[in-house]
Chains A and B, each alone.
Chain A
Amino acid sequence: MNEIATVLAALQLGDSFFPSGGTSFSWGLETLRADGLVRTAADVEALVAGQIEHRWVSFDRPAVTAAHAAAGDIDAVCVIDREVDAATLAREAREGARRIGTSVLKVHEGMGTPGVPEYRARIRAGDAFGQMAVVQGFVARASGLDADTACAMSAHQLVLSLVSAALRLGLIGHVDAQRIFVGQRDRVGTLMRQPVPDISELHAYTPAAEIAMMRHETGNGRMFAS
C-alpha cells in the first residue's frame, strides 16, 4: 500500500463509524460516576491517562503487538487470544472485549480481509475467544498496517470509548473530549518508545476500574454494557 492508502486504512479501521460496538462500553466509568469516584472533566482526563499508563501499555499493547507478529500463524494467534482472555479477570471486561473482537472480525470477513474466516472458525471451535486487542493486531496486519500503527489505533480506540462514554454520561463536553485526545498523543507516543513486554508478561494495575466493572454486573440503571 502507498502511504496515503495506509493512512486511509488506519482512519477507516480506527474510526468510531467502524461497527465494532466499542461505544456500548464504558469500562467501569458508568459505575465510577454512579459511586461518585469520577465527577469532573479533570477526573475523566486522569482516568484516561491511568488506563493508558497502567493497563494499555503493559496489557493491550503487548497483545496487539504479539497478534500482529503472529498473524500468519493462526495457532499462535489462538494461544495469545486464550492468554489474554485468562488474564482479563473482571467478567464484563473479558466478555466486552470478546464481543468487540468478534464483531470486528465479522465485519472484516464481510470486507474480505484475509485470514479472518480461519480465525472465526477457531473461535466457533472453542480454540479462541476473539479478544479485542488480539483481533486489533491481527486485522491491522491483515489490512497492511504496521505494528506501531496497530498499537496507536488500539490506544485511540480505548480513549475513544472512554471519552465517548464520559460525554454521554454528562461528565465532559465535546471540547473537553477533544482536549483529552490531544493530551493522550504525547503520552502514548512516549510510552510506545519503551520496549514492548512479552506476551508472557501481560500485566495491569487498574483495580478501581476492575472493581467498578464488577459492581456494574449487579448495578441499576445501566446505560452501558460495562
Chain B
Amino acid sequence: MKPDDLVDATPAQFELGFERSPGGATVLRRQLVAYPFHVGRVLHVPGDPAGFATVYVQSCSGGLFQGERLRLAVTAEAGAQVHLTTAASTIVHAMPGGAAEQSLTIEARDGALVEYLPDPLILFPTAKLTTTLTIRAAETATVLAGESFLLHDPKGGDGAFDLLGSETRVEAADGRLLALDRFRVDGSSVIGARPGVNGAFGLQGTLMLVHRSDPDSALEALRSALPESPGVFAGASLLPGDCGAWLRVLARDAIALRAVMRAGWMAARRLVTGSAPGIRRK
C-alpha cells in the first residue's frame, strides 16, 4: 500500500500547526493530539534565538506496538521556527504476528525552519516497522529531519528485528518529488555486517537538510559535522533536485551516533540562525 493511501484512510492522530506571532515568537496555533501521543507545552530553550519554539512529542504507550498505525502532521507557517524532538528513544516492540506503521508529514512554508530530531528507534527482535516521512518545503524554508536506529535484544541474545522500511520524500510545495530515500532492511542483514552494506557498524543515522535556497551551504554545514574517528563511518552529499544536503552515519555505539547527529544539528542550526542551538538535557 502506498503511504498516501494510508494517510487518506485514517485522519492524522497528531497534528500541530505553528505560526509566527506578530511579536515574532513561534506559537502553537493548532493542536490535535490523540492517544498514544502527548505534546508538552511550547518551550523556549535558553540559548536559542528569541521566539524559537521547542516541543517534545511523547508517547504514553511506551513505544511502538504491533498493529499501530500512527499518523503525524506538522505545519510551520511562514517564518515559524520550531524544534521537535522526543524525550527518549522509541522502543519498537516485538511483533510476532503483525507490523506497525508511522507516517509524518512536515510542511514548511516561506522562511520557516522545522527541526525534527527524534531519539533513535530501538528495534526489538521480530519488530516490523514502516516509517514514512514526507517533507514539503517552500523554496525559502529549511527542514532538518533526522532518523536513526539500532537493534537490541532485551533477552541478551542475538534476536533481530524482521523489517525496518524507511521512506523519506522531499517535495516542493506543489508536491513535485525532489529527493527520495527508501531503504528496507532486516536485523539479520545488519548483523551480517557485509562490506558495502553496513560493514561492521550496527547503528545508522541520517540527517536530511532541506535548504532549497542554498544547497551548497547546506552541504558545507553537514560536511563540517563529519567526524574522523574509527568508531564511525559517515559522509555527506548534495541531495537531488537541488533541494539541500544529507548526511548518513554508521556507528558502532549509540554515543558515537549521537555525537554525529548532534554535530550535524548544530551546523544546520548555525547555517539558518547564525548561532548554535541551546542544549536541553533530556
Contacts and interface: CB of A to CB of B under 8 A. Distances in A.
A149 to B, nearest CB: 26
Contacts of B195: 32, 37-38, 43, 46-47, 50, 208
A212 B118 CA distance: 26
Interface of B (DSSP majority class)? strand
Interface residues of A, number: 43
Contact of A58 (B2, B184, B198): B184
Interface in B190-211: 194-201, 204
B240 to A, nearest CB: 5
Contacts of A169: none
Point out which of B184, B197, B201, B234 has the most chain A C-beta atoms below 10 A from its C-beta.
Answer: B197
Interface residues of B, number: 36
B235 A210 contact: yes
Given A32-B196, A86-B177, A204 B183 contact: yes
A204 B248 CA distance: 14
Interface string A75-89: 000000011011111
Contacts of A58: 184
Interface of A (DSSP majority class)? helix
A87 B238 contact: no
B198 A207 contact: yes
Interface string B161-182: 0000101000000000111111
Interface stretch (A64-72, A106-114, A184-192, A213-221): A213-221
Contacts of B165: 203
Interface string B104-132: 00000000000000000000000000000
A206 B196 contact: yes
14 contacts: A29-B196, A32-B196, A46-B195, A46-B196, A47-B196, A51-B196, A58-B184, A87-B180, A94-B240, A205-B183, A208-B198, A208-B199, A209-B196, A210-B235
Given A205-B184, A205-B198, 5 more contacts: A54-B189, A54-B194, A88-B240, A208-B197, A210-B248
Interface of B: 2, 165, 167, 177-185, 189, 194-201, 204, 223, 233-241, 246, 248-250
Identify the 7 closest CB pairs spanning chains A and B, nearest first.
A214-B235, A47-B196, A211-B235, A50-B194, A50-B197, A214-B237, A87-B180
